[in-house]
Structures are given as structure tokens and as C-alpha cells.
């Protein structure tokens, strides 16, 4: 099976590529623009495989996509390329419109042109798998409510609105043109190679440096946490077993308040990194509550019953085991994140962290 993976140098995308190379016989072509969140170091362990190919390209360039499709001749597309940080979408939504909406449209057109000229058996087997987020649903009011595949869309941020738009485009290309698509909507991912602007890696790295640990508002926002390698395994099952036109919600069954997540990280660091920076008695003493961000969703929670029932997938990691693995990975791989923090991985300093 030959698969194009867009955004394959990003957090979830690189986990998917590593899974495909290590656990399957698939041949993989990664297309990635290498924006600030793309990092080839996340693919280093599989880059020597003869089943791995990398194209440093923008999915908004239709001519380039046409050539890649014609040269690589894929059986499937796994579309993960996206701008994904809510704070950045609030400060500068244009990039989110360009990549998440225009880029998805450009990729759909390239995939459609390729698919339409295939013979009947390959046309029937082809899949366009669009990987999206639970944030398209907005947030939940009741403590027992869950996002299901038929939950109405109600995005709250420029990021989630752009992803909702891309979901609608993908479904329209099946309804209008017949392109065999699959959509998955996942909960918050965490794990190795997570870019340090996100809550979990930022908390770990700030704590190790003795910096403040910022928590929005009162920290009671609830997220369902999914270990990224469990997610990669789910995506493989969906693209190989799922039927065109279906939507699958993928969650970790790990609902936690943000403040619980930060305190859990502090407790793990007390155990795994007891030698603290000067002036720090306890990691949790670094926690600081900061002004909430605009339009902050209160609670996300995924109902993953469909994928469990119909495809037999369940997460292998609990919140406790996944968080322990994550903290241990960051402690064992400081070079990966230090090169991001000082900007050397892309030749410039990023100035990460919230002042």
C-alpha cells in the first residue's frame, strides 16, 4: 500500500509515519512545508527506510501535488497537514484559513484528478482520509455529555472553524464527485515529539527550567487525552478497515481538568527528576493562573464507541501510563526539545513560553 501523508513532520503526522514504517509494509510519501511545527528530527528513526520518501512542499501548490501524485501513484492519502494551535489562530487567523481550508481544497482537487484516472479496482480501493479534531463540535455543557459522530458543529476559535470548514469540504467532494473519503475527529493528543507550545510539553520543559507554569483561568477546562501512538494505530485501522463516507471519533477515555494535568506532571517530575532547579522546593509551586483566552471551550469529551464496536480499536495507554511515558521521553530526549527552544532546529529562535 502506498500512502501520502501530509503534515508528516508534525506531531501526530510523524507518529503516523513512524507507525507505518515500523508496523506495516506501507510505502510512505511525506509532504510537509516544514513550518515552525514541522521537524525532521521527529522522523529521524525511519528516514533511512527505503519505504520512506520526503517532499518539502506546500499542499497549497496544486502543480506540485499533481506531480507527486503522478510520480508516487498512491493508494491512499492521510491528510494531517494543518495549523493547529488555538492561541496562534486568535493572534493570526490568516495562516489557518490558507492551510486548513485552501490547502485541503487544493489537496482534494489533486486527489480527485488522480483517482478519476485510475482503473476501476484501484478507484474502488482508494481512500482519502481526513484527520480532524473534536474542537469542531465546540464544547459540552453537561458533565455526562459526549461528542458523537452526529454531534452538530459549533466551532469556537478561528482554528476550529477552519477545521470544520475543511471537514465539510472533504465530505462535499464525496457527495459531489464520488471521491471515497473518511473523516476522523480526535481528542487532545499527547506523547513524544509534541511541540513545546502545547500544554503538556510546555509544562514539563518550564518546570525543568524552574519557570512559571501558566494555567488558563481557573484550570477547570476538561479535555479527553489520547496518547499519540494509540491515535496512530487507530488511524491505520480506519484507513484499512473503514468504509468510505464514514466518520469515526477517536478518544482516549481520559477526561481531566487542565489543572489536574499540570499537577500530575508535577508529581511525575518529583519522582523522575527530583533534582530541581535552584530555588524550587516543589514543582507545583511554579503553577500560576493567568487570564483565560478568548472563547475558551470548557469541556471536550469523545464517545469512541463506534470505532471500538465496529473496528475493535481501544487505546492501550491509560492516562497514568501515557503521562509517565511522556515525561520519561522528554527527560531522555533533551536534545530534541532544546533545539526547538533555542531555535537551532530551524535556524532561528522562537521565543516559546508565556511571559
Strand partners of residue 5: 30, 78
Q: Give the model confidence (pLDDT) of 26-43 as tens digits.
A: 999 999 999 999 999 999
* Residue 204 belongs to some domain of the structure: no
* CATH assignment at residue 131: 3.40.50.720
* Residue 348 belongs to some domain of the structure: no
Q: Give the model confidence (pLDDT) of 172-185 as tens digits.
A: 999 999 999 999 99
Q: Which of 134, 197, 224, 317 is catalytic?
A: 134
* Residue 28 belongs to some domain of the structure: yes
Q: Give the model confidence (pLDDT) of 56-76 as tens digits.
A: 999 999 999 999 999 999 999
Task: Please spell the DSSP secondary structure of 123-159, one letter per residue.
Answer: HHH-EEEEEEEGGGG---SSTT--B-TTPPP---SHH
Query: In angstroms, rounded to a whole number, what is the distance separating the alpha carbons of residues 16 and 136?
Result: 22
The total number of structural domains that make up the chain: 1
**What pTM does this model have?**
0.94
User: Is 260 one of the annotated active-site residues of the chain?
Assistant: no
Distances (CA, A) of 180 to 174, 245, 316: 6, 7, 29
Distances (CA, A) of 316 to 179, 310, 313: 32, 17, 9
User: Is 139 one of the annotated active-site residues of the chain?
Assistant: no
Cell numbers standing for residue 315: 487505546
* Residue 41 belongs to some domain of the structure: yes
* Residue 61 belongs to some domain of the structure: yes
Domain that includes residue 23, residue range: 2-192+225-255+298-318
* Residue 86 belongs to some domain of the structure: yes
Distances (CA, A) of 186 to 138, 231, 354: 13, 8, 26
Cell numbers standing for residue 95: 495562516
Alpha helices per DSSP H over 198-318: 199-209, 228-241, 258-272, 305-311
pLDDT in the model for residue 310: 97
pLDDT in the model for residue 109: 98
Q: What is the DSSP letter of 38?
A: -
* Residue 274 belongs to some domain of the structure: no
Q: Which of 27, 32, 135, 167 is catalytic?
A: 135
User: Is 177 one of the annotated active-site residues of the chain?
Assistant: no
Q: Which of 19, 52, 137, 159 is catalytic?
A: 159
Query: In angstroms, rounded to a whole number, what is the distance separating the alpha carbons of residues 185 and 247?
Result: 8
Amino acid at each position: 500500500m502506498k500512502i501520502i501523508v501530509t503534515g508528516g513532520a508534525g506531531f501526530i503526522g510523524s507518529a503516523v509515519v513512524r507507525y507505518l514504517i515500523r508496523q506495516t509494509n506501507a510505502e510512505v510519501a511525506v509532504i510537509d512545508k516544514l513550518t515552525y511545527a514541522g521537524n525532521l528530527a521527529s522522523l529521524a528513526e525511519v528516514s533511512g527506510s527505503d519505504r520512506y520518501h520526503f517532499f518539502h512542499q506546500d499542499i497549497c501548490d496544486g502543480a506540485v501535488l499533481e506531480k507527486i501524485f503522478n510520480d508516487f501513484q498512491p493508494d491512499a492519502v492521510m491528510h494531517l497537514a494543518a495549523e493547529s494551535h488555538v492561541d496562534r489562530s486568535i493572534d493570526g487567523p490568516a495562516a489557518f484559513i490558507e492551510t486548513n481550508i485552501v490547502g485541503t481544497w487544493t489537496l482534494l482537487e489533486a486527489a480527485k484528478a488522480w483517482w478519476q484516472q485510475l482503473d476501476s479496482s484501484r478507484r474502488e480501493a482508494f481512500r482519502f482520509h481526513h484527520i480532524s479534531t473534536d474542537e469542531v463540535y465546540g464544547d459540552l455543557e453537561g458533565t455526562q455529555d459526549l461528542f458523537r459522530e452526529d454531534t452538530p458543529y459549533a466551532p469556537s476559535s478561528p482554528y476550529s472553524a477552519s477545521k470544520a470548514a475543511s471537514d465539510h469540504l472533504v465530505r462535499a467532494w464525496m457527495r459531489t464527485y464520488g471521491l471515497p473519503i473518511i473523516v476522523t475527529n480526535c481528542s487532545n493528543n499527547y506523547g513524544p515529539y509534541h511541540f513545546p507550545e502545547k500544554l503538556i510539553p510546555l509544562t514539563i520543559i518550564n518546570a525543568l527550567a524552574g519557570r512559571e507554569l501558566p494555567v488558563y483561568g481557573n484550570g477547570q477546562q476538561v479535555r479527553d487525552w489520547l496518547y499519540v501512538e494509540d491515535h496512530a494505530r487507530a488511524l491505520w485501522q480506519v484507513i484499512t478497515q473503514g468504509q468510505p463516507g464514514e466518520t469515526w471519533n477517536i478518544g482516549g477515555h481520559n477526561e481531566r481538568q487542565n489543572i489536574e494535568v499540570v499537577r500530575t506532571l508535577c508529581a511525575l517530575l518529583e519522582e523522575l527528576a527530583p533534582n530541581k532547579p535552584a530555588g524550587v522546593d516543589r514543582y507545583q509551586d511554579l503553577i500560576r493562573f493567568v487570564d483565560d483566552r478568548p472563547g475558551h471551550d470548557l469541556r471536550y469529551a469523545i464517545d469512541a464507541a463506534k470505532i471500538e464496536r465496529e473496528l475493535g480499536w481501544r487505546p492501550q495507554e491509560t492516562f497514568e501510563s501515557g503521562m509517565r511515558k511522556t515525561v520519561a521521553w522528554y527527560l531522555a530526549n533533551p536534545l530534541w526539545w532544546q533545539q526547538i527552544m533555542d531555535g537551532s532546529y530551524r535556524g532561528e529562535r522562537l521565543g516559546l513560553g508565556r511571559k
